[in-house]
Amino acid sequence: MTLEWEQLNVDAADPVALGRWWAEALGWVVVNDSPEEFEIRPAPDRLPGLLFAPVPEAKTVKNRLHLDFRPDDQGAEVERLLALGARRADVGQGEQSWTVLMDPEGNEFCVLSSRRR
């Protein structure tokens, strides 16, 4: 049996707004702009993607699954994401080499230490 990772589904109060925010944050492209299934990918023919779907309830607790990103320059990337509308998050991580942020709907993600050269 062979499996290919197609996408990660993200519940959202506003799938279009959140999907557009992530497209900007990641430099990805929109491949489906429906309010019921807003999908972005690294390129139209590249996987995996992120699929944003509407849900009526708001996020209330820490994510059980989150994304980690390894940048070339952690400080610059954190500042760029904060300027786009991300917020710092404290999920009890203490002093670590990574920075925990939240997207505009409160979904946590991590910006890891800078890439080793």
Largest CA distance in the chain: 44
Q: What is the DSSP string of 67-97?
A: EEE--SSHHHHHHHHHHHT-EE--SS--S-S
What is the CATH architecture assignment of 65-117? Roll (3.10)
Two structure tokens written together for 33 = 């702009």
* Confidence at 18, pLDDT banded by 50, 70, 90: very high
Q: What is the pLDDT of residue 117?
A: 58
pLDDT in tens, 27-38: 999 999 999 999
Residue 17 has pLDDT above 90, yes or no: yes
Given this chain, do its domains 1-56 and 65-117 carry the same CATH topology? Answer: no
Predicted confidence (pLDDT) per residue in 41-70, tens digit: 999 999 999 999 999 998 888 888 899 999
How is the chain split into domains, by residue range?
A: 1-56, 65-117
Choice between 93 and 6, residue whose per-residue pLDDT is larger: 6
Q: Identify the residue with better confidence: 21 or 1.
A: 21
pLDDT per residue over 67-111, tens digit each? 999 999 999 999 999 999 999 998 767 677 889 999 999 999 999
CATH architecture type of domain 1-56: 2-Layer Sandwich (3.30)
